[in-house]
Amino acid sequence: MRVALVHYWLVGMRGGEKVLEEMCRIWPKADIFTHVYVPSAVSETIRQHRISTSLIQRLPAAPRLYKKYLPLMPIALESLDLSAYDLVISSEAGPAKGILVRPDALHICYCHSPMRYIWDQYFLYRSRAGLFTKICMTAVLPSLRQWDAATAARVDHFIANSAFVAQRIEKYYRRSADVVHPPVAIEKFSICDDVDDYYFTFGHLVTYKRFDLAVEAFSRLGKRLVVAGTGEEAKRLKAMAGPTIEFLGWQSDEQIARLLRRCRAFVFPGIEDFGIAPVEAMASGRPVIAFGCGGALETVVDGVTGIYFREASASGLAKAVLDFESCMHSFDPKIIREHSKKFESSRFAAKLKAVVAHQFTTRTNRDIARYAPPQARREEAGVEIAEGDVF
Model confidence at 387, pLDDT cuts 50, 70, 90, reads very low
CA distance 177 to 161: 9
CA distance 181 to 274: 8
Phi, psi of 200 (to 5 degrees): -135, 145
pLDDT of residue 390: 31
Strand partners, 307: 289
CB atoms near residue 370 (< 10 Å): 9
Lowest pLDDT segment from 56-60, 213-217, 372-376, 377-381? 377-381
Q: Please identify, in words, the CATH class of the domain defined by 186-343.
A: alpha beta
Instruction: Provide the percentage of residues in the chain whose pLDDT is more than 70.
Output: 94
Domain boundaries, the chain: 3-179, 186-343, 345-381
Which residues have C-beta within 8 Å of that of residue 184, sequence separation ≥ 6?
Answer: 276, 279, 280, 283, 340, 343, 344, 345
Which residues have C-beta within 8 Å of that of residue 116, sequence separation ≥ 6?
Answer: 93, 122, 125, 208
**DSSP for 131-145, written as a single string:** HHHHHHHHHHHHHHH
**DSSP for 149-196, written as a single string:** HHHGGG-SEEEESSHHHHHHHHHHH---EEE-PPPB-GGG----S---
Q: pLDDT for 263-275, tens place per residue?
A: 999 999 999 999 9
The one-letter amino acid at 312: A
pLDDT of residue 180: 96
Average confidence score pLDDT of the chain: 91
Task: State the angle between helix axes of 345-371 and 15-26 in degrees (0 to 180), rounded to the nearest 10.
Answer: 60
Q: Please identify, in words, the CATH class of the domain defined by 3-179.
A: alpha beta
DSSP for residue 341:
G
Q: pLDDT for 124-179, tens place per residue?
A: 778 878 888 888 888 888 888 999 999 999 999 999 999 999 999 999 999 999 99
CA distance 329 to 333: 10
CA distance 141 to 21: 30
| Mean of pLDDT values over 306-325 | 96
Phi, psi of 29 (to 5 degrees): -105, 10
- Is 90 exceeded by the pLDDT of residue 106? yes
Which residues have C-beta within 8 Å of that of residue 55, sequence separation ≥ 6?
Answer: 72, 75, 76, 79
| Mean of pLDDT values over 245-256 | 95
Residue ranges in 188-332 assigned as alpha helix (H): 211-221, 234-240, 253-262, 276-283, 296-299, 314-327
Domains 3-179 and 186-343 share a fold: yes
pLDDT of residue 363: 80
Model confidence at 378, pLDDT cuts 50, 70, 90, reads low
Which residues have C-beta within 8 Å of that of residue 29, sequence separation ≥ 6?
Answer: 3
Taking a C-beta distance cutoff of 8 angstroms, is the pair 359, 156 a contact? Answer: yes
| Mean of pLDDT values over 79-105 | 93
pLDDT of residue 102: 94
